Structure 1
Amino acid sequence: MTDAAWERIQPLLPATDGRGRPWRGHRQVIDGVLWRLRTGAPWRDLPERYGPWQTVYERFARWESDGTWAALLKHVHVRDEAVGRVEWTVSVDSTVNRAHQHAAGARKKRSPDEDKLEDPQRSAARQALGRSRGGLTTKVHLAVDGRGLPLSIVLTPGNVNDSTVFETVMDGIRVPRTGPGRPRRRPDRVLADKAHSSRVIRAGLRRRGIKATIPERSDQIDNRRRRGSLGGRRPPFDPEAYKHRNVVERCFSRLKQFRAVATRFDKLASRYEAGLHPGSLILWLRNSTA
Structure 2
Amino acid sequence: MKFATILQYLNKNPATIIKYFDVRLFVRDNKKWILFVSVCVLIQLYTIVIFPIQSNKYQFNEKTDQKLLDGCRYVYIDMGTNIGIQIRKLYEPQLYANAPVLPLFKEIFGNYSNEVCSVGFEANPLHDSYLKEFQTYCLKRGWRVKIFTSTAVSIKDGNVTFHTEPGNEQNNQWGASLVARPNTANITVPSIDVLSWLKSTVLDRKLSPGFLPPRIMMKSDIEGHDSMVLANLILSGLYCSIDLIYGEHLSPQFQDSVSLFQQYSESCKTKLISMDDESYHTARFSFIIQNSTY
TM range (shorter): under 0.3
TM-score for both structures, normalised by structure 1: 0.28
